[in-house]
Amino acid sequence: MASTNRWGVLRHKDFRLLLAGRLTSQVGNSISIVALAFAVLDALDSPSALGLVLAAEGVSLAVCLLIGGVIADRLPRRTIMVGADLVRFASQGLLAALLIWGDIRLWHFLVLQVVSGAASALFIPAVGAVQPDVVPKEDLQAANALRGLVIAIAGIVGPSVGGLVLLVLDPGHALALDSLSFLLSALWVSRIKAGGTAGARGGSVLSSLAEGWGEFRSRRWLWTVTVQSAVVRMMGLAPVMVLGPTLYHGGDDAEAWGMVLSGIGLGALVGGALSMRLTVRRPLLVAVAGTFTFVPMIWLLAADAPAVAIALAGVLVGVEQSLYWTYWQTALHKNVPSEVLSRVSSFDWLGAYAFEPIGYALAGPVAALVGISTTLVAGGSVVALGTTAVLMVPEVRQLQLEKDPVENEAEKSASGA
């Protein structure tokens, strides 16, 4: 490992604006994680309904991601990001208003989360591909690390604010804050100069998708880690996000669940700071191996351990998430050509998000059938087994950040392209 001072990346104005937009919207999202869960449980008193609401956004996102990737490789990425932020400002604002007025039904939650998921499907490929346009290549790892720090800060501030708002007010007002965060993000992003021109428009949508798929599947390190991410989200993250609030619902425990999420955010802050300083030779080996840190947190939750113990385990998860984010995004940016990056990223995100809604939808019914603890223990075990399998792939262990897309053509051929 080598260390270096990475803070010089802040000299780029476009990157500062992008970072400000991500900070505001991520804080809002982190507030929403707590507020939405308790809003559904307060209104409908059903873990299965919570799973359906969380799944609705995930399904919408997964269905729309591939088209979002094509659009982001063809149209101005800045315009797409601003439009997506404004749509989410409106959808979350309407949901907040319905909650505050006290006239909310399950279908309201589902429809508005579908709209939010579709907007996210446009935003995610665009923001992932615009990053290499706002900083030079040598600053990519620093830029990705700082974005990880932003997510970490949001992970600490958001759940804590959400928990406090729920103690003083109600979930509707917390979601109103989430709505305003997207408006602020749109204002910041609209001032970015990069990403203002349209990309290549040649070929049909299907041919563009086929080209993106070809680039995606030709890199074995890429699709195998994507599969692993899908397993972790479906069997680990989704059950935790449904069954965790369920365990803490029924008393004044919203703050305790916020503390657990804040523990993850604190760890992400530490991990973000580490990723600013450390450059590892084999980034995917570090990122994938770190996924084992999810298992203790999941099993402690299964054992109904004290919230403090779960939060401490969550710190390790947060460290891993920041390191994973930085090394994974930098590997994509340095090893995938810019002209297909949005489409390749959309396949990557699709692999993660297509299975997460299944985990949300099944967590409640499965827990009702076999129990919460058994569901969580089984999920943690599958995460451990899946991570072990991916670590056996040579390309995952051997990929190096120094390589350029051209240098990896031989590696693509060796992977069966």
The winner for highest mean pLDDT among 131-135, 291-295, 351-355 is 291-295
Taking residue 328's Cβ as centre, other Cβ atoms within 10 Å add up to 20
Q: DSSP 3-state assignment of 2?
A: strand
d(CA 15, CA 188): 11
d(CA 250, CA 273): 37
**Better-predicted residue by pLDDT, 203 or 18:** 18
d(CA 289, CA 136): 29
Which residues contact residue 403 at a Cβ distance below 8 angstroms, ignoring those fewer than 6 apart? 334, 335, 411
At 155 the pLDDT is 65
Q: DSSP 3-state assignment of 404?
A: coil
- Which of the 8 DSSP states describes residue 252? S
Taking residue 188's Cβ as centre, other Cβ atoms within 10 Å add up to 21
What is the residue-averaged pLDDT of the chain? 82
Question: Could you tell me the domains of the chain?
Answer: 7-197+204-414 (1.20.1250.20)
d(CA 242, CA 360): 7
Q: 285 with 392: CB under 8 angstroms?
A: no
Q: Which two tokens stand for residue 304?
A: 């109904």
Amino acid identity, position 28: G
Q: 232 with 321: CB under 8 angstroms?
A: no
- 349 burial (CB, 10 Å; 0-12 / 13-18 / 19+) is buried
pLDDT band at 183 (very low <50, low <70, confident <90, very high): very high
Mean pLDDT of 261-286: 81
Residue 80 has pLDDT above 70, yes or no: yes
Angle between helices 47-74 and 106-134 (to 10 degrees): 40
Q: 25 with 185: CB under 8 angstroms?
A: yes
d(CA 190, CA 208): 27
Q: If you search the block for the tokens 């399950």, which residue do you land on?
A: 106
Q: DSSP 3-state assignment of 178?
A: helix
d(CA 99, CA 111): 14
d(CA 190, CA 14): 10
Residue 121 has pLDDT above 60, yes or no: yes
**Better-predicted residue by pLDDT, 238 or 86:** 86
**pLDDT tens digits along 203-260:** 677 888 888 888 888 889 999 999 998 999 899 888 988 888 877 765 556 677 778 8
**pLDDT tens digits along 313-369:** 999 998 888 888 888 888 888 888 877 888 888 888 787 777 887 888 888 889 989
Q: 230 with 351: CB under 8 angstroms?
A: yes
**Better-predicted residue by pLDDT, 30 or 172:** 172
Taking alpha carbons only, the member of 297, 285, 199 closest to residue 243 is: 297
pLDDT band at 201 (very low <50, low <70, confident <90, very high): low
Which residues contact residue 193 at a Cβ distance below 8 angstroms, ignoring those fewer than 6 apart? 13, 14
Global pTM? 0.68
Residue 381 has pLDDT above 90, yes or no: yes
Lowest mean pLDDT among 124-138, 245-259, 363-377: 245-259
**pLDDT tens digits along 32-73:** 877 888 888 888 878 778 888 888 887 888 888 888 888 888
Residue 83 has pLDDT above 60, yes or no: yes
Q: 261 with 30: CB under 8 angstroms?
A: yes
